[in-house]
Amino acid sequence: MDKTTEATNSPFFPGQTVKRSAVAGDIRKTSGFSDGEVRLQQPSVKRINLTESRSVPMPDLAQRPAATCQATCHLPNGHSPTDQETIHQSQSTGEFYFANDPLTQQRIIDQLRLEQPTTYCIRTLDDLEKHGLMQQIWLENGELHKAEGRLFIDEPMTLVFDLTAMIPGDIASFNDLLQAGPKCNDKPLGDRIRRVFLVNHGMLDGSRPANPDLWRRLGRMPEKVVAEADYIAIADSVTDETLLAQKTTADIPANAPRITLDFATTDHWYRRLFGGITLNDRGQLVFSDGALANLKENTHLVLNNAPWEDAGFQTALATAIRDGGFTANRQWVRLPEQISLSVAHVCASELNARKEQTISDNTLFQPQNPFVVINGSSMERLKGHLMIEGTVVVQTNMVVNLLQGCRQLVLTGELDDTQWLWLLCQLEALPESKRPWLFSNLPTYRLLAASADHWPTTGDNNQHCATVTYQINPGDTLESLQQVNLTSQDRFTFSLTNSPLLTALINGTPITLYGLERNPKLAANLETLLLPAPYLFIHGRKMDLPKARVTFMPPPGAANHRLGIDQRPAQRFRQPTRTGKPCLLPADVTASLLSKALSGQAALDRGGFSASV
């Protein structure tokens, strides 16, 4: 990043970083989530790629130290510690517990909460973005304010890291927090933060995955157990699942205030429950209260199509009920002592009936007329409701923006029931005159209008060979193709800057893309480049790319076999053979197979093209 720009993150444009010019003045991060929860392009905790496993001695669990070890700083030759490095060596303590079942975990958390009410459980990287831990952001008198994250200030707090809920790669992302003198993003934790790590014996004996380096780090901490005398105070502890079951009833209490929440079309359940900062119809920043705010006593909540499969949803709802409230916009929101729940959802038979009623017969598809495509990954980009129009942020309907009056919508991949329900609700909400025909399982020859002309993709004399090469990284997103810039903090205005890759797509510069097999989500969102009328859907806007010329390279094991498109001078789609001679894409290979093949989920062996992946 050059010295004239500064990067920040905005929830209005999920999945990417917002930059501002240095002349734009002080920047305050904005958040669409409760209590300053900010969603970042990549988690604030740095992910660490696991290298080849090495033999690490297992610590002797019977001879653990009685106190947390202090870190010794090893500096390169010629480097002396600065005053800041010396002063800010965190004195945060660390310890771990064995918790082999959910009830034991909850009892430990309850006991820790009795000792320190400010206790938060971390089960995913995203949990560090909540509760103002990484950064405090709030709205006051119409103005956004920010302050240092609570992780880094002198505030007593207990953080419980449930490592049993994480995969080894995510555990490795917390390495800096597992060491003595812990840091997060190179910033030392506050001295009064108590770190507690939950593990189980399955992680120790190998029946549960856990990288050996974890035990080396934990071996420098004391193992703790809940004292037998403390079990009296936590005898009534129950798991999140049990607590919610106790609050759930099929019979709605008489005369009870009733609130129905349907999550089928909710873009983010956290904001729906707890509230968050957003824009009103006039483009002004406001804090929108969540459904759990201002509830009356004995309120009954009907939760329709709630995401119960998301462990974070259950944890957040159960924690709010257990604590008797939650914090939103730096204010405590009290929940009534008596609250009841009931659960409802669209059953499979009803969902199938609605699908059959909506999906059109494939014979009605007209490839000569405009159409757009979606899959399970690209659909997630349709769930936002804000975009940049000119220089300002406005509310919008992403589905309408994608269709642009087009009356044909094609599914190129499988959807789960939750995605199907969301899509059907969106289509049913459109005026009948603007509702598109929905097609599924169309053969490729109906989607790709290929001509008989061949264009070579190999050889020194090939004028069509790609001249620009890009290596796709696992963390890349579609939004990184177009940067959002904050041009004025006072007026809250923005601009968009095209990346060199997007500029090349617009101008028709030949491009070769490598590494999409390592980023299946991005591959799924680039499938629209395979269409006769290629486009990309970025930041809520459909961007037509009639000149796009792209070659998609498969994994190293199939380095000589490519997927290529060339929109000059006619619409073409070709698959080169082993000898480099092109052939038409077979009719029985769907467009969505690009993402599946490149991510190692399928194999292509059609029409002289063979790629094992």
The pLDDT tens digits of the residues spanning 89-109 come to: 899 999 999 999 999 999 999
For residues 353 and 351, give the distance between their C-alpha atoms in angstroms, rounded to a whole number. Answer: 5
- Quick one: pLDDT at residue 594? 53
- Quick one: pLDDT at residue 10? 53
277 has a pLDDT exceeding 50: yes
Give the CA dihedral 395, 400, 403, 408, nearest 10 degrees: 160
Q: Using 50, 70 and 90 to split pLDDT, how confident is the model at 554?
A: confident
Amino acid at 207: S
For the purposes of burial, counting CB atoms within 10 Å of the CB of 472, is it exposed (0-12), middle (13-18) or buried (19 or more)?
Answer: buried
For residues 246 and 261, give the distance between their C-alpha atoms in angstroms, rounded to a whole number. Answer: 19
- Got the DSSP string for 31-98? -SSGGG----SS-SSPP----S----PPP-TTS--SSPPPP-----TT----HHHHHT----EEEEEE
* Strand 187-188 relative to strand 183-184, pairing: antiparallel
SS3 373: strand
Which of 262-276, 379-393, 438-452, 492-506 is the least confident region? Answer: 438-452
Kindly state the helix (H) or strand (E) to which residue 17 belongs, with its residue range.
strand 17-21
For residues 186 and 40, give the distance between their C-alpha atoms in angstroms, rounded to a whole number. Answer: 17
For residues 379 and 335, give the distance between their C-alpha atoms in angstroms, rounded to a whole number. Answer: 34
Cβ neighbours around 204 below 10 Å, total: 17
For residues 549 and 551, give the distance between their C-alpha atoms in angstroms, rounded to a whole number. Answer: 7
Residue that the structure tokens 């209590």 belong to: 35
For residues 325 and 510, give the distance between their C-alpha atoms in angstroms, rounded to a whole number. Answer: 56
432 has a pLDDT exceeding 80: yes
For residues 59 and 66, give the distance between their C-alpha atoms in angstroms, rounded to a whole number. Answer: 14
Of 496, 603, 506, give the one whose Cα is nearest residue 550: 506
131 has a pLDDT exceeding 70: yes
Q: What is the pTM of this model?
A: 0.72
Which of 2-16, 365-379, 561-575 is the least confident region? Answer: 561-575
- Quick one: pLDDT at residue 18? 59
Q: Using 50, 70 and 90 to split pLDDT, how confident is the model at 558?
A: low
Q: At 147, give phi and psi (nearest 5°).
A: -145, 165
| Mean per-residue pLDDT, 4-9 | 46
- Quick one: pLDDT at residue 315? 93
Of 246, 21, 243, 285, give the one whose Cα is nearest residue 143: 285
| Mean per-residue pLDDT, 280-287 | 82
Give 257-268 pLDDT, tens digit per residue.
999 999 998 888
For residues 322 and 337, give the distance between their C-alpha atoms in angstroms, rounded to a whole number. Answer: 10
83: tokens are 């005053």
8-state DSSP, 359: B
CB environment 135-155: b (16+ within 10 A), e (fewer): bbbbbeeeebebeebbbbeee
227 has a pLDDT exceeding 60: yes
Of 156, 181, 170, give the one whose Cα is nearest residue 70: 181
